[in-house]
A and B are shown apart, each in its own frame.
Chain A
Amino acid sequence: MTQAPNADAVIEAFSDIPALLKADLALITRGRFLDCDCRLGPMEQPFFVAIRAGRIVEFAAKPALMRSWRFSYCATPVAWSEYWKPMPKPGFHDLLALTKRGEAVVEGELHPFMTHLQYFKDLLALPRLRQAKAAA
């Protein structure tokens, strides 16, 4: 049975993503043609993320009035918690597995998401590295 995750822990893990990306030059390079404002994170408390040339230049947790975004990928805390496990269980191991099972919603103008699909899969999996290290 899936244990209900601590929502604060999910937020905290998300907050690590900019630093984790900064250390991943291969992933930055993969996103070198990507400029995009998007909304990523838990459904109830998403982050507004500004990406320029593959680098995160803004990662805002606090709601901002009339903030624009091109696409949004948000999932339940359970989904993020499972996705970040070193060995996620079946159905929780991929962003689109999560949307298929209704644990995540992708919406908006999907062009930047689809042109950089592996980039976003890997970007949003970065907290898994930290979890794997903690489990080691």
Chain B
Amino acid sequence: MNGEIEPMVGRYVHVDIGGDMYRIYFEENGSGIPLVCLHTAGADGRQWRHLLADKEFTKKFRVIAFDMPWHGKSNPPASWNGDEYQLTTKRYTETIRAFCKALKLEKPVVMGCSIGGRIVLNLAIDHAAEFRALIGLEAADFQQPWYDTTWLNRPDVHGGEVCAALVSGLIAPQSPKATRDETLWAYKQGGPGVFKGDLYFYRVDGDLRGRVQKIDTDVCPLYLLTGEYDFSCTPEDTKRTAAAIPGSRVTVMAELGHFPMSENPEQFRRYIAPVLAEILKAQVSPKQGVHA
């Protein structure tokens, strides 16, 4: 509709992460339980724009999506000396916790996709008590690599084109063309080496095999949802991971791939709505123990 203004608002918050100050861009909408959304590797918070604009969810949730440093509108810090960007488990965990602290969020729900799904598992391992619930989309403790990441950042290959072309096959064929193209556009816009640097966490530093057994879902409920067309983090990867975590809940999402919230928001809504409803119900009547 001509002249329509969407309800989410974007702002910057200055966040101390490991002693360096970062200017972090985030968008938010709604009120209620804080729901912090983490984008995939090499992308940014725009992936969550449909959830941010959801009239029903935002009645009960304060939906917040931030761009990781180096991504979207969150620039590298002023202290950056030009070294190759590499995301580590420690730094990723620090960033999320520091962001939540800077915004004074009280026991937020964190929902992350892909690398965001992987780090959600790490939050569940080491910091579960800080969160109301954790949701991992396309999440597993590990998955087999399927290409050489050196192709992502070299001067004789167009970074935007190759990043988008690599991930294009992770989108389900049923996803609408417009949302497919929009999902890929973020990959075409990423800074040089940023997608590759994120995958350092995913491929090298963030292997959680043998650690997820420590997750206690009585402390913090854990939901894992994976698209059937995701051949990077397959439904089998997620099921294998969940098998080691008593009380974790797994959903395989039909007709969705690696980017459920952006590649096909309507289809994703069908799957995330019952999860958010359950979190809400536990909030209203915590003693009834819906996760018991």
A74-113 vs B, CB cutoff 8 Å, 1 = contact: the mask equals 0000000000000110110111110111000000001100
Q: CB of B229 within 8 A of chain A?
A: yes
What residues of chain B lie closer than 8 Å to A110, measured between beta carbons? 151
- Nearest residue, chain A, Cβ from B228: A90
Measured between C-beta atoms, what is the minimum distance from B142 to chain A in Å? 15
What residues of chain A lie closer than 8 Å to B161, measured between beta carbons? 115, 117-118
Which bucket holds chain A's interface residue count?
Answer: 10 to 19
Of the residues A101, A114, A118, contact of B231 by C-beta under 8 Å: A101
Interface residues of A (CB under 8 A from B): 87-88, 90-91, 93-97, 99-101, 110-111, 114-115, 117-118, 121
In the bound complex, CA of A93 to CA of B231 (Å): 9
- Nearest residue, chain A, Cβ from B164: A118
15 A-B residue contacts at CB 8 Å?
A87-B173, A90-B228, A93-B169, A93-B173, A94-B169, A96-B146, A96-B166, A96-B169, A97-B169, A100-B144, A114-B157, A118-B164, A118-B165, A121-B168, A121-B169
Q: Is the interface of B mostly helix, strand, loop or mixed?
A: loop
What residues of chain B lie closer than 8 Å to A94, measured between beta carbons? 168-170, 231
Measured between C-beta atoms, what is the minimum distance from A83 to chain B in Å? 10
Contact B229 A90 (CB under 8 A): yes
B237-267 vs A, CB cutoff 8 Å, 1 = contact: the mask equals 0000000000000000000000000000000
Interface residues of B (CB under 8 A from A): 144, 146-147, 151, 156-158, 161-162, 164-166, 168-170, 172-174, 228-229, 231
Contact B151 A114 (CB under 8 A): yes
Contact A111 B156 (CB under 8 A): yes
- Nearest residue, chain B, Cβ from A115: B157
Point out which of A87, A94, A97, A101 has the most chain B C-beta atoms below 10 A from its C-beta: A94
What residues of chain B lie closer than 8 Å to A88, measured between beta carbons? 173
What residues of chain B lie closer than 8 Å to A97, measured between beta carbons? 169, 231
